[in-house]
Amino acid sequence: MTDSPPPSTGASAAGPPVPSAVALSGVTKAFGAVRAVDGIDLEIRAGEFFSMLGPSGSGKTTVLRMIAGFEEPTGGRVLLGGTDVTRLAPFDRDVNTVFQDYALFPHLSVRQNVEYGLKVKRVPRAERTRRAAEALAAVRLEDFAARRPAELSGGQRQRVALARALVNRPSVLLLDEPLGALDLKLRLEMQIELKQIQREAGITFVFVTHDQDEALTMSDRIAVFNAGRIEQVGTPAEVYEHPATEFVAGFVGTSNLLQGDAAAQVFGEPGLYSVRPEKVRITHPDDPAGPDECSAPGTIVEVVYAGALTRFVVDLEAGGRLVALRQNVEESSTDVARHRGSTVLLAWQRRHTVRLSARPGDTTPNDNPQ
């Protein structure tokens, strides 16, 4: 690569000239003795669907509120589009927030709810009407404009809240667990729909969730939060296939850890290792493993039938325990149950073994900060 100007087809992949949509630099937030956010560096690219994933209390909402301007950092800087906004009020920032509880006005129609913010900003009536119609079309609610929120389903209310934010045409939309109030089926539908809306609108989404499947399904990139820090930033595949730390391996998927003597025996070197359950093949103890495979003999101690898949829990001769997943291509629940107590050999491609560090920073496999 040379440092000639990026091609005119778009600058996103070329890097440096494009300022990040959102950049956090050494951001901390203390509430009294509680360090809710403990030194975060992060760059979110324009047009990205970026998720902040982590357990309850890990600091996700506090980070989002600092980007929005509802909370002032104790230390560090917040930049939007390359401009330092750390001390700016929320209404002076080019962002909008969608909250979990939607906060719709019950006495106003859908259209009036969507227009409300523009009215406050004294946008002329004709433009208001046009932009509200566009926003309602973007969330596919044109036919519901005259209804009150009470006359809508949960998913439709969610989309009104989204339209109310989109109508302001923010360059960044912040969403704090926006699907949390929906039942599972609707959630899965809205995950796909929200992603589609984001792609069509071309707006940067910063999406907070504690649900790993949701983050894996929707995101371009994910930041995994733990106790006020980011343990890893990466694409869904990077975070899932190459977790950087023990925490990430456990929080995103089944961890399947091997350590101590068991690890030394299986891998020839002590350390902390993980292998994803769907990568592990179950074979007969007399079948040799391939030249590029790791293997470990053991006994099936538990068989859990889950419709499409069966989960085999195997205690290894070396000590430790691994879970292997198998698709039920031919087998039924009664077929798989008889495997309990069998002696087997587990085998997996060497490249699917992930070496973990116990804490972030022990190794630097993630791309944060840039």
Residues that bind ligand ADP (CB under 6 A): 31, 34, 36, 54, 56-62
- Smallest gap from Cβ 59 to ligand ADP, in A, equals 4
* The two three-digit tokens of residue 195, written as one number: 């992603």
Q: Helical H runs in the chain?
A: 60-68, 110-120, 125-138, 154-166, 184-201, 212-218, 236-241, 246-251, 260-267, 333-337
Q: Which stretch binds Mg ion (CB under 5 A): 61-69, 96-104, 239-247, 321-329?
A: 61-69
CB 340 within 8 A of CB 282: no
- Smallest gap from Cβ 177 to Mg ion, in A, equals 6
Q: Of all residues in this chain, which one has the CB nearest to Mg ion in the complex? A: 61
- Identify which of residues 61 and 256 has a Cβ nearer to Mg ion in the complex: 61
Please return the burial class of 96, using the count of CB atoms within 10 Å of its CB with bins 0-12, 13-18 and 19+: buried
Out of 20, 25, 28, 61, the residue judged to bind Mg ion by CB under 5 A: 61
- Identify which of residues 36 and 262 has a Cβ nearer to ligand ADP in the complex: 36
CB 215 within 8 A of CB 222: yes
* Backbone angles phi and psi of 122, in degrees to 5: 60, 35
Q: 73 contacts which partner out of ligand ADP, Mg ion, none, CB within 5 to 8 A by kind?
A: none
- Identify which of residues 38 and 193 has a Cβ nearer to ligand ADP in the complex: 38
d(CA 66, CA 78): 8
- Identify which of residues 59 and 298 has a Cβ nearer to Mg ion in the complex: 59
Angle at 27 between CA 26 and CA 30, to 5 degrees: 130
- Identify which of residues 208 and 263 has a Cβ nearer to ligand ADP in the complex: 208
| Rg of the chain, C-alpha, whole Å | 24
* The two three-digit tokens of residue 191, written as one number: 């995950």
- Smallest gap from Cβ 184 to ligand ADP, in A, equals 20
- Identify which of residues 2 and 56 has a Cβ nearer to ligand ADP in the complex: 56
- Smallest gap from Cβ 110 to Mg ion, in A, equals 27
- Smallest gap from Cβ 56 to Mg ion, in A, equals 7
Q: 256 contacts which partner out of Mg ion, ligand ADP, none, CB within 5 to 8 A by kind?
A: none
d(CA 62, CA 37): 7
Binding site for Mg ion (CB under 5 A): 61
